[in-house]
Each structure stands twice: as C-alpha cells, then as structure tokens.
Structure 1
C-alpha cells in the first residue's frame, strides 16, 4: 500500500517537473508573440503621436537608455524580463491613462503583460527549486536597481506633467524600447535553457 502511494507521488512529481520544463521551453516563443502583440496594442491605443506633443518630447530625459541595460548571467535573463514586464504593468495599471485612448487595447495590453508575468513566475519557481537561478546575485540586484530607477523616472515624468495626454503619449513612445530589451534578452538562447 505504501509503495503504491509512493509511486503515485513520484509520478506526480515527474509529471509536474515535465510540465514546468515544457512551460520554460515554450516561454521564449510566448515572449516573442507577446512582444509583438504588445507593440501592436501600444500603437492602437491612440494611433499616431499627436503633433501638439512634439515640443514636449524633448522634455523627457530618461536617466539611462533602457536598451543598454545588461544582464550577464544567463539564468537571470528571465528575472530581468519579469521585472521589466512588472514595471510596465504597474505604470499602465494606475487607471490614469488618457480617456482618449482605446480602453479595449489598454485592457488587452495589461492582460497580456499579466499573463506573461505569471508564466515567468511559474518558470522561475521551477528554476529556483532546481537551484539554477540565484535571485540574490549582485549582477541581478544591480540590474534590477537600474531598471527600477528607469521606471521611477517614467513615473516621475508622468506625475510632473499631471498625467497629461502628451506625457502619456511620450511614455507610449518610450515603452517599446523596453520590449527591444526584452527581445534582446529573449534572443539569448542560453538564457532560455530548460531545467
């Protein structure tokens, strides 16, 4: 009886590890698809950049170029991507986006970000259980601080401009650069190795 129960537990663990492994394997394909959809939704939110906002575009000076952020350890690429997605989600989830924007596109954008964050969390749990990822690494902490500083700059810019349409439009034009970094991290095949 005990042997049969133990066999069932072992089979459940084996299948859950296999499912988690497949989740991580498919993650980069899902990430590429989500990046493309997110960029399309950002464009659909309000179409072309309003001409009245062009002079304000120069006022936005990010503390750094997000595309130049580096993540040197392959295991940390997923953690960095999750951090970027979470920060983007936080900005667009404050219900302060302009009413002139397409609400359906905003909701779909938020939903896509949330789903990918959930997938990354599940994959990272698997990696951490197998001790392949060190979320406390100094390199990752440095990168996370730089990312947080970058997104705090975006948040401060929106606040300083009282969440005006032009401020949001400038942010809407800036956010695709984050997806360029995500794409760069995703393309590192060694960063998406399965456990």
Structure 2
C-alpha cells in the first residue's frame, strides 16, 4: 500500500509537471513582460547618452541585428535563448568603467538569467518529447550570424579597453536586441495561437 507521504509527493510532482507545461505553452506572455522589464533596466542603467561619446559612436558600425530574418520553419525559442545568453555574457565582463547604477546592473543581469533558465526548461521539455526543429540548416545559419554580430560588440569593447564611452555605445546597440527579441516573441505568440487552434480542431473531430 502506498504511504500517504509518498502519495502526496507523487501528486506534487504531477502538479508541478502540469504547471511547467502550461507555463511553456504561455511562454510568450512571460517573455513579453520580461523583455519590457529588461529594456527598462537597460535604459535606467546609465541615463542620457554622454555628449562626449558621440564621436566614438559614429565609428562603431556593426551589422544591424534587426535585418536578420528567420524563416517560418525556424524555432524562435532557440534564437531568443542565444541572444539572451550573448547579452548575459557581455554584461558580466569588465563593467568597472561603465559608471552605471550597480543595482540596475544586477537587476538586469538577474532578469536575463531568469529568462535563460525558463527557456532552457521549455527547450529541455521539448527535447524529452522528441520535438524536432524543422529548418535546422536555416537555424544554424542564423546562429552564426548572431555570433558574428555579438563578436563585433565584444571586439569593440576589448579594443576600447572597456571604456565608459564604449559601454555607453554598446548599451544603445543592445537596445536594438530587445526589438529583435520582441519580434521573436511575437513568433512564439503566433505559434501558441496556432497550437491552440489545432487542439480545438482535434477536439471537435
């Protein structure tokens, strides 16, 4: 006979599993909120762009991340995860000259980390269900483009010895990344809507 405590433990695991599934199905809702919060923290971090940094900003011309295009077959979660991981790594290096608000920096880093963990959980759940990603070749190409984009940022920071102006320029550039994240999150919302419609059709049948 199953003991009462063991039964309670099994029910907790089952309930947690259902909650995780529901959370992943509504991942776009969480991402919209967290993208907005991270963008606001990024804006508050340093205030207005320093006038003395304008000349250096003109010299910095990376590829525009907003021009990257994902085919309809690519998985938006994977691209979002890569962007967030790159951002997290960038903002965990040599910030001593940035002259930003320390609390805002920490909150920004923590927010990115939470988003990454949530995405990893959902992607792991999909892998366990043997969900395959169509268009893997396109996804690989996009991944390489993202790596080149962020490598340009890393190279610039290193070349400028992580100066205050270099960080301010990068802060402006990173704001564009959140516009890209919003576009990808919209893809998640559309995918969730399509999945819900398909489930409704199957139920009707």
TM-score range, shorter chain: 0.7 to 0.9
For each residue in 1:95-130, what CA deviation from the matched residue of structure 2 results, as whole angstroms up to 9, or x when unmatched? 435352101000000000000000000011111222
Give how far 1:48 is off: 0.3
> Is the Cα–Cα contact under 8 Å of residues 74 and 135 in structure 2 kept in the other structure?
no
TM-score by length of 1: 0.86
Change (3 A) 1:99 1:168: closer
Unaligned runs of 5+ residues in structure 1 are none
Give how far 1:136 is off: 8.6
1:93 is matched with which residue? 92
Question: What secondary structure sits across from 2:48 in the alignment?
Answer: coil
TM-score by length of 2: 0.82
For each residue in 1:44-83, what CA deviation from the matched residue of structure 2 results, as whole angstroms up to 9, or x when unmatched? 1110000001111111110x21012122245610010000
2:180 is matched with which residue? 181
Change (3 A) 1:124 1:97: farther
- Higher alpha-carbon Rg: 2
Question: What secondary structure sits across from 1:182 in the alignment?
Answer: helix
Further displaced range: 18-27 or 166-175: 18-27
Number of residues of Structure 1 aligned to a counterpart in Structure 2: 190
Query: Is 1:28 matched with 2:22?
Result: no
Question: What secondary structure sits across from 2:148 in the alignment?
Answer: helix
Equivalent-residue separation in structure 1 for 2:142 and 2:9 (angstroms): 39
Question: What secondary structure sits across from 1:58 in the alignment?
Answer: helix
Q: Indicate the RMSD between aligned Cα atoms, in angstroms.
A: 2.6
Give how far 1:27 is off: 1.6
